[in-house]
Structures are given as structure tokens and as C-alpha cells.
Amino acid sequence: MTVHAPGLPLPHTGPVTGVPAGAPIPGRSLRFRVETWGCQMNVHDSEKMAAALGSLGCRPAETEPADVVVLNTCSVREKAQEKVFTRVEQLVGRGGERPRLIGVAGCVAQQEGGAIFGRAPAVDFILGTQSLVCLPDIVRRLLDGETRIVETGRHPDNLDIPPEQIDRIPGVKAYITIMEGCDNFCSFCVVPFTRGRERCRSVSSIVREAESLAASGFREVQLLGQNVNSYRDPEDERDFAELTDAVGAVPGIRRIRFTSPHPKDFSNALMDRFAAGGPLMPHMHLPAQSGSTTVLERMRRGYSRGEFLELVGRARDKAPELALSTDLIVGFCGETRREFEDTLTLLDEVRFSSVYSFKYSERPHTLASKRLPDDVPDPEKTDRLVELQARQREIQLALHRDLVGREVEVLIEGPSRKGGQLAGRGPDNRIVNFDGPVEATGSFGDVRITGFGPNSLLGEPVGSLTPRRLTGSPASAAANPRDWGAEIPLPVVQAAMRGREASPSA
Ligand code: SF4
């Protein structure tokens, strides 16, 4: 599974009720690749699609050409959407053989449907965001001679795919979808049109998935949803804070993170969980989108600059160590220089631990596309983005400088991106690189911060790092090399870690 550089926002075998049977295709041994753009929700959806293809007897193509290629797309910005069509051209225009089947999944598929065939005739199927469970059936029908299948309907089973039917990227942390869709309709955002209205899983189903993950050796879970703090258990109305209690009570789960909450829905109960210092880690991605009250009004975000700052202040009063990251859009419809400067000063006041920043890009169906002119010239948007990122870089350097000398507990994720060291994450989600044996991957260790850059920290272990005792037999490893409970070849871990991070949801 390939994960491409981020777009935006907030993503096996056995029959399941309502899910097309995934019995292997007789006599066929196809290799597949799922290529992913966009958010964690998309990364997680790709894990589900990989499992669906595996249920047909297809094998992952790591480096060799693939027979089935699924492009799991992001439409949150026009640039991300266009990459898909470029990629289809690459797949069919290499001079060699094109993949036998090319599918477009994800938000572009949901948004454009069959219109994609008009622009990319080489595509064989379109798979919407709420139709992942249909993938095995679609592949079978295409192999049996059908052509051009479009499936963008809503399938209730899609939200509650059992954990054993998700082919997770090996690692130490795993995603759990707790809800899908969004009812907020911020004026710039396409998500309610591509992911639909809010739907929540039950606490009991989510806890079962967390138990399964803990049994497989995962120690950290990230709860995913477009607007997690409007979560409600459809069975007994438990809220998001109570959900974190239930997941935190699962033996073996030591860390919980989530993305993304909406500032307008933030409850004091959730702040109390941060203050309590349990498994809920002291980091939160809190999308601000702008620092200007007038821009926030045009975005229909439901809070003012003052209310956002008041929320940050309350959160930090309760949990002083809380690190906050955010999303910011520059050049939204009608944004004046003065309004943009309000966003710059928001950086100074909040001092976010990291920022995902983007130029505004008009999206179909949205209120902004219908009522607000996209009138900030693109060169001006670029200048503002560069200015914002430069300001944020200085803030991150200053924050990181203050951490030198501190000791933090890291969950060791594996080899660092540049190689030669290990990388782990502290409770505040910052990346720390340090020397250590690769066998310590998956364990917790204490590290003293000795240096820093704008995006990561440098450290040295305090005491020895304990190699993790891997579980599982050689037989189970051979049977399922993706099972983290079994020993995973280092190249697989490295490849997985390279593609692990995507940017948060809106
Ligand atoms: S920005 Fe977030 S809260 Fe607003 S509509 Fe999009 S997904 Fe929903």
C-alpha cells in the first residue's frame, strides 16, 4: 500500500453479514496495490480495501507491477484531485502493460462518480467512500467480463467492518474509525458531500476492535472521525469523553489519540480527561482554519477568534502540558491582508506545536463555491502561505529549544525517516530521533532531548532500551507476515513507517 504526500482533512477472509463473500477467485493469483492520498481516514480505508482484495486471494505487489491498482483519492483541494488523473495516465502510458484493473476509490470517486470515465477512460471501476464492502464483488464481476462499474451507494456495513477484515499496516499504533461523515457544512468543505452525514459506531463495537488490536500487540490507537466530539453511541448515547474511558480501560492500550474535534463542540468533560493524565495523550489536533472572526463567519465555523482563544486557555488551564496542532487556510474568499494578519497573530498567541496550512481551493457543491467569489489572487495566496509557514517554523524552533534537557517517554515506531536512528513519539506527539537497536521497535523507552530541528527532536536514551518480546510462532509469521504479533521483516516495517503519516482531517 502506497501513501502519497498528504492531502487534507480528516480516514481477510470470512463472510460478514451483508458483505459480499470474499472467497478466493479460483485459479487466479493477482497482485494488487492500493495507492493512498489524503487523511488518516483514507489510510485506514486503504487497509480495509487491502483486506478485501486479500480475501479474493490477491497478493500485495510491493515493488513489482500490480494487476489491480486502486487509487484511494482525496478531493479536499483541487490539486489533490488532479493528481489522480495524472496517475491514471502514468499507469496506462508507460509503454509496458497497463494494470489489468484500475479503480478510483475515495472522495473523488464519491464526488464525481461515473463522470470519471469521461476524463479517464482507462478506469475500470469507481468505488465510493461508503461502498468499500463492495470491492470483492466488483473485482469478480470485472474479471468475469463486466465493464465500467460504479458503486457509490451507502452500505451500512461499511462503518462496522470487523477488525479481522482489516489488513493493518504493521506498526505500533492503529486507527479505529468511530464515526463517518459530518453535519457541519463549513462553507469551504467538501467532506459532507463525499463522506455523507454523521454516523457513529457503538462503544461496544469500538471496544471490541480495541481489544483485538491490543491482542495483536498495538499499544496506541487513534480514534478517527470528521468531528469526533459530536460522537454519540447509537445504542446508549454515551459521548466521546465516555468513549475514551471505555477504550482506555482495554488492557494493553497505553495511549489514545484522536482526530479531529471541532472547536465549537468541545466539552468540559473531555478537558477533564486530559487533565486526569490517563491514556489520553496530551496532544490534540484542533482545527482553527483562520484567526479572523470575519473569515470564520464566512467559513461558517460556528466560533469567533475570541471563543477559540478562550477554549485554548481553558484547555491549558486544565492540562498545561497539552500540545495543540491545527489546520489553517490562507486566501479564503475575500480574505484581506488585515484578516490574514489575524491568523498570523493567532500563531503567536496559541503557539501551536505544528500547523497544516493550505491555500484555499474552491470545491464543488460547497456554499462558498456557490456564494463567495474565490477572489484572492493565487500569487497572493502563495505569499501568505510562505509567510505563515515561516512564522510557524520560528515558533516550533522556539518550542523545541525549550524542550532540550527534558526526559520524555517515547513509543518507538521503528527506523527514522533518514535512517541510521530510531524514531519514536513522545506523549505530545512530537517525533524524537535517537540511537538504539531496531529490536526495540514497539517498546516504550525514556529519552533525554539533546537537540532539535523545526519538525523533530533529537534525543539520547536514558538507560537501556528494552527489545520488545515479539509474540507469535514462526508458523503464524509465515502465514501472516502482516500480523504485528509475529516477527515482521525490517524492510516491511520501514516501508510501512515511511507511508504512515498523513495530515489530519478538517
Ligand atoms: S471542515 Fe470539518 S467540521 Fe467543517 S464540514 Fe468539513 S469535516 Fe465537517
* DSSP states of 228-275: GGG-B-TTT--BHHHHHHHHHTSTT--EEEEE---GGG--HHHHHHHH
Confidence of residue 26 (pLDDT cuts 50, 70, 90): low
Return the ∠ at Cα 502 (arms to 441 and 279), rounded to 5°. 55
Q: Helix and strand tally (H, E) in the chain?
A: 16, 20
Averaged pLDDT, 76-98: 85
Return the CA Rg of the chain: 22
- Residue 321: what residue type? E
Q: Could you tell me the residue ranges of all domains in the chain?
A: 157-400, 404-461
Any ligand 1 atom below 6 A from CB of 350? no
Q: What atom of ligand 1 comes closest to residue 260's alpha carbon?
A: 2
Question: Which grid cell is 169?
Answer: 499496516
The CATH number of the structural domain formed by 404-461 is 2.40.50.140
- Rounded alpha-carbon distances, angstroms, from residue 288 to 3, 178, 328, 353: 26, 22, 6, 13
* Interatomic CA distance for residues 206 and 214, integer angstroms: 12
Q: Tell whether the model's pLDDT for residue 10 goes beyond 90.
A: no
Atom 2 (ligand 1) nearest CA: 506
Q: Tell whether the model's pLDDT for residue 182 goes beyond 50.
A: yes
Any ligand 1 atom below 6 A from CB of 226? yes
Averaged pLDDT, 370-385: 98
Mutate which of 10, 182, 195, 259 to test ligand 1's pocket (most atoms within 8 Å of Cβ)? 182
Give Cα 436 distance to the centre of its chain: 28
Q: What atom of ligand 1 comes closest to residue 189's alpha carbon?
A: 6
Question: Which grid cell is 22?
Answer: 470474499
* Mean pLDDT, the chain, whole residue set: 86
Any ligand 1 atom below 6 A from CB of 324? no
Looking at the DSSP bridge assignments, the partners of residue 101 are 68
48 C-alpha to ligand 1 centroid (Å): 23
Question: Which grid cell is 26?
Answer: 479460483
Read off the pTM.
0.85
| Nearest Cα to Cα of residue 12 among 48, 39, 43, 65 | 48
Averaged pLDDT, 308-333: 96
Any ligand 1 atom below 6 A from CB of 187? no
Any ligand 1 atom below 6 A from CB of 288? no
473 C-alpha to ligand 1 centroid (Å): 45
Residues 273/241, Cβ–Cβ less than 8 Å: yes
Render pLDDT for 230-252 as a digit per residue (tens, 0 to 9): 999 999 999 999 999 999 999 99
Any ligand 1 atom below 6 A from CB of 196? no
**CATH T-level assignment (fold) for domain 157-400:** pyruvate-formate lyase- activating enzyme (3.80.30)
* Interatomic CA distance for residues 490 and 472, integer angstroms: 16
Atom 1 (ligand 1) nearest CA: 506
Q: What atom of ligand 1 comes closest to residue 195's alpha carbon?
A: 7
74 C-alpha to ligand 1 centroid (Å): 14
| Nearest Cα to Cα of residue 322 among 331, 306, 311, 335 | 311
Q: What burial letters (b/e) apply to 144-169, b meaning 16+ CB within 10 Å? A: eeeeebbbbeebebbbbbbbebbbbb
Question: Which grid cell is 94?
Answer: 508507460
Give Cα 105 distance to the centre of its chain: 16
Any ligand 1 atom below 6 A from CB of 191? yes
Any ligand 1 atom below 6 A from CB of 184? yes
Domains 157-400 and 404-461 share a fold: no
Q: What atom of ligand 1 comes closest to residue 226's alpha carbon?
A: 7
Determine phi and psi for 385, rounding to 5 degrees: -65, -45
* Interatomic CA distance for residues 271 and 311, integer angstroms: 10
pLDDT at 503 (0 to 100): 37
Q: Select the more confidently predicted residue: 42 or 479.
A: 42
